Amino acid sequence: MHDELFDAGPAENRCAVILAGGDGLRLRSFVQKLRGDWLPKQYVKFLGDRSLLEATLQRARTLISSKRQFVVVTESHFDYAEVPQQLSNYPEVHVAAQPMNRDTGLGLLLALAHIYHVRPDSTVVVFPSDHFIQEEDLFLNHVDAAFGLVERDSERIVLLGIAPTQAETDYGYILPSDRWHNAFPFGAREVKHFIEKPDPILARKLVLRGGFWNTMVMVFNLKMLIEHLRAINPFAYRGFEQICDSMDSAGFAVRVKQIFAKSEPLNLAKGVLEHLAAQRPRFLFVLPVRGVHWSDWGSEERIMSTAGHALNGRLGRKSSSHPFSARLERRAAGTA
């Protein structure tokens, strides 16, 4: 991390964290068919000349300078030549390399500790790195609106929710409160419940009750999130505090490894957001996103579905000469 790389533009307090620490276990067999190895999915160039991670970094750069972006990766990812190669194309982006994967929550806290060290008053957006988003400009307008909501009231945590097109059982859902308030701009709603990967019957009920798919794209004031964490998960807060305390020490990497080794996995949705909704619901908001084709690429079926849409021209994507794209197209057409 290099403090001097931070710029001082008009949105100088906005930072981004890109979560790319996952190992892509559910897609390993699919990636093996495409590439012959187990490269984590966020580094794979499925439908063009950019990987999912590179697409996310460029998407984030529309709103936030690369100098204020932090990408979380896992040290073992560097065993693949593609990882340092892709990251080298974004030299100003800060890389927070976690010693091992302890799920999204702990990886996020590592990046937040780096941000807190140099810019504790930041407003932060979190982007998962394995999403397909077609209407990027419209989606980013919603992210910008979420920033506005948090900058008006720093106690808010705003998540972007997608209006479901089907009762998907592999997504998390956000169920908004029944109460409506004219005071919340952009159609934002208070959050009532988080439901992670419901069964088919519950998923249908959630859609009928106006639930949203949880994109896990979220905006918050850094100091306020840490205060919430202190209240709802003291053990996770202590880990964050220990990372911060070690930041300037010569043994920082060793200390982080020790903290990760003794920590239980912390899932951001189940370990943080669900507890926050149960214990401090008035701080959580969902901002509905409509008119955007969004997909969490966590399964082969979802990737193939998107490839099928691309083939049929429904997404308006230009065809690519990339060999993986060609193979995906053949598989989507049922010829491979």
- pLDDT category, 182, cuts 50, 70, 90? low
* pTM, rounded to two decimals: 0.90
What's the whole-number mean pLDDT along residues 305-334?
55
Find how far residue 163's CA is from the centre of its chain.
Answer: 18
What Å distances lie between residue 174 and 81, 228, 265, CA to CA?
38, 19, 22
Taking 60 as the threshold, does the pLDDT of residue 166 lie above it? yes
Under 8 Å CB-to-CB from 1, ≥6 apart: which residues? 94, 96, 114, 117, 118
Q: Which amino acid is at 313?
A: G
| Domains of the chain, CATH where assigned | 3-154+213-264+293-298 (3.90.550.10)
Share of the chain above pLDDT 90, in %: 76
Q: Which amino acid is at 234?
A: P
Helix orientation angle between 234-245 and 222-232, rounded to the nearest 10 degrees: 130
- Positive or negative, the CA dihedral 212, 64, 103, 273 is negative
- Hey, which residues does 304 pair with through a beta bridge? none
User: Which of helix, strand or coil describes residue 147?
Assistant: helix
What's the whole-number mean pLDDT along residues 41-65?
94
Taking 70 as the threshold, does the pLDDT of residue 333 lie above it? no
Element containing residue 4 per DSSP (H, E): none
HSE (side-chain half, CA atoms, 13 Å) at 224: 18
HSE (side-chain half, CA atoms, 13 Å) at 65: 13
Taking 60 as the threshold, does the pLDDT of residue 171 lie above it? yes
pLDDT higher for 164 or 325?
Answer: 164
Taking 80 as the threshold, does the pLDDT of residue 326 lie above it? no
**pLDDT one-digit tens code per residue, 194-221:** 999 999 999 999 999 999 999 999 999 9
Taking 80 as the threshold, does the pLDDT of residue 146 lie above it? yes
Find how far residue 129's CA is from the centre of its chain.
Answer: 6
Structure tokens at 69: 């972006």
Give the residue from 276, 265, 195 showing the smallest Cα distance to 233: 276
Give the residue from 118, 152, 124, 99 showing the smallest Cα distance to 260: 99
- Hey, which residues does 220 pair with through a beta bridge? 124, 157
pLDDT in the model for residue 311: 54
Under 8 Å CB-to-CB from 88, ≥6 apart: which residues? none
